Amino acid sequence: MADRCLLALETTCDETAAAVVTEDLQVLGSVVASQDALHERFSGVVPEIAARAHLERLLPVLDETLRRAGVGWDQIAVIAVATQPGLAGSLLVGLMAAKTLSFLLGKPLVAVNHLQAHIYACRIAAGRDVFPCIGLVVSGGHTSLYRCENPLDFHWLGGTIDDAAGEAFDKVATMLGLPYPGGPALARAAEGGRPGRFRFPRPLLAEEERLDFSFSGLKTAVRYAVAGPGRVDFASLQLDPQLVADVAAEFQEAVVDCLVGKSMLALRITGLRRLCVGGGVAANQRLRTRLGQACAESHCELLIAPPQLCTDNAVMGAIAWERYRAGLFEPLDVDIQPGLMRPAGSTR
């Protein structure tokens, strides 16, 4: 049994997760406790509920992770925890637990940037070095492009100026009366959609100098397509299922066009030839297919982690091994950084 194991905690948003990963990136155990059922009736994550749920779930999740991994506390050499970005209350629960474990076990504490970890999921899944690369993080809270020199050096190239792609998926799903969480439900609805009935905007896509995204206008276009102007109670709308499918398909296509277009632009501008994609929306099959086609045409390499490593998990926190090897440990008074969305230059 492996004796140098890293224990990673992930509580940035609404998944309570832990994982045990060896230094050669073998995943010995991983548990993700979803809070979807708690947030469903609000059609979005309620920060206070999320933080309380993390408090209740973290210890059972930790126990179960170690049980599955078949390791004891004495085999844990490093404690890793996501400290940025995320919901303040949620981050605090994970960080306090990680500090306590670090102190009790006398093992180093390593902070994880959740967005960098999403990209690192591609490294873990690939089983080999993937740097340098362009990194696209496309999740519920973030849509950003990075130039990733190495696992410790990420440069922000651009990102959304309003909604994140996943947030737009979730909000449009609510307008269409689809179940929570909206992203997967909308993708399923889009399967029956007919192309050509609607044409939504592709904001900023034509701006060849800019690596930014904008999805809020797209959301408004959907709103007008299904309900017109004026006040609307989306919950009481009785929408024709074919209309829902057609709108979902065109919305998804518009988001995918923007994500693919800007990712390819980032590759062209930087001259890099490898794209790594992470975050919950990277689980979207249409996005995976279209990125695959675009990268093949451009003779670039595409790496996307399997869907369960795209949505929030603690396995990706194994990026902490890189910081550990570089001696980048945290003191016990390290704090959370909830809002660090646009790291300028190196985030090291």
Q: Give residue number: closest CB to Zn ion.
A: 139
Binding mask 95-114 for ligand KG4 (x = CB under 6 A): --------------------
Q: Residue 45 interacts with ligand KG4 (CB under 6 A)?
A: no
Q: Residue 141 interacts with ligand KG4 (CB under 6 A)?
A: yes
Q: Residue 312 interacts with ligand KG4 (CB under 6 A)?
A: yes
Residue 283 interacts with which of ligand KG4, Zn ion, none, CB < 5 to 8 Å by class: ligand KG4
> In the complex, what is the shortest distance from the CB of residue 183 to Zn ion, in angstroms, rounded to a whole number?
12
Contact residues for Zn ion, defined by CB under 5 A: 139, 312
Is cis: bond before 181, omega within 30 of 0?
Answer: yes
Q: Residue 284 interacts with ligand KG4 (CB under 6 A)?
A: yes
- The answer to whether 112 touches 320, Cβ cutoff 8 Å, is yes
Residue 284 interacts with which of Zn ion, ligand KG4, none, CB < 5 to 8 Å by class: ligand KG4
Report the residue from 94, 158, 184, 203 that binds ligand KG4 according to the rule CB under 6 A. Answer: 184
Q: What whole-number distance in Å separates Cα of residue 217 and Cα of residue 245?
A: 20
* Residue closer to ligand KG4 (CB basis): 151 or 166: 166
Helix or strand holding residue 329 (H, E): none
* Residue closer to Zn ion (CB basis): 110 or 314: 314
Q: What whole-number distance in Å separates Cα of residue 142 and Cα of residue 151?
A: 19
Q: How many residues bind ligand KG4 (CB under 6 A)?
A: 19
> In the complex, what is the shortest distance from the CB of residue 288 to ligand KG4, in angstroms, rounded to a whole number?
9
Helix or strand holding residue 20 (H, E): strand 15-22
Report the residue from 140, 158, 203, 317 that binds ligand KG4 according to the rule CB under 6 A. Answer: 140
> In the complex, what is the shortest distance from the CB of residue 106 to Zn ion, in angstroms, rounded to a whole number?
30
* Residue closer to ligand KG4 (CB basis): 151 or 279: 279
Q: Residue 115's CB: how many other CB atoms inside 10 A?
A: 29
Which residue reads 């959609």 in tokens? 193
- The answer to whether 206 touches 219, Cβ cutoff 8 Å, is no
Q: What whole-number distance in Å separates Cα of residue 277 and Cα of residue 263?
A: 9
Interface stretch with ligand KG4, choices 57-65, 242-250, 278-286, 319-327 (CB under 6 A): 278-286
Q: ∠ CA(209), CA(213), CA(219), 5° rounding? A: 145
The pairing of strands 109-113 and 27-34 is unpaired
For the chain, state the CA radius of gyration: 20
Helix or strand holding residue 238 (H, E): none
Q: What are phi and psi of 229, to 5 degrees?
A: -80, 175
Residues lying near ligand KG4 in the complex (CB under 6 A) are found at: 13, 139-141, 166, 169-170, 181-184, 187, 279-281, 283-284, 311-312
